Amino acid sequence: MIKRPDNPDGNAHRVITFLTRDELDFLDKIGKDALFSAGTKLSRSKIISAIVDVMRRLGIDGTGLRSKKELEKRIIKAMKREREGEQKNGTVL
């Protein structure tokens, strides 16, 4: 187990995943964009962790999912709902 200061209980688990070169390049670009624009590089791990946190906040679950495409559609739908709610409340990120 690895200690993570940004995690309330301080514990993190290693996850090994297989991504395409394009997916890795995309994660690296986000990290480098943060470095050059804000002075702090975001690691692949921190980016993936942020994605998981957002999915949790949006209420995404795996009920009835059969494919990656179905998950992508569910995420996009939840993001649109969130955006519409922000626009109704007058708050925009």
Note the pLDDT tens digit of each residue in 16-52.
999 999 999 999 999 999 999 999 999 999 999 999 9
- pLDDT the model gives residue 55: 96
Spatial CB neighbours of 13, under 8 Å, sequence gap ≥ 6: 1, 2
DSSP-based three-state secondary structure for 2: strand
Residue that wins the pLDDT comparison between 44 and 8: 44
Spatial CB neighbours of 65, under 8 Å, sequence gap ≥ 6: 71, 74
| Residue 86, token pair as written in the block | 């922000």
pTM beyond 0.75: the answer is yes
Least confident of 23-27, 77-81, 89-93: 89-93
DSSP-based three-state secondary structure for 46: helix
How many residues would you count in the chain? 93
Spatial CB neighbours of 91, under 8 Å, sequence gap ≥ 6: none
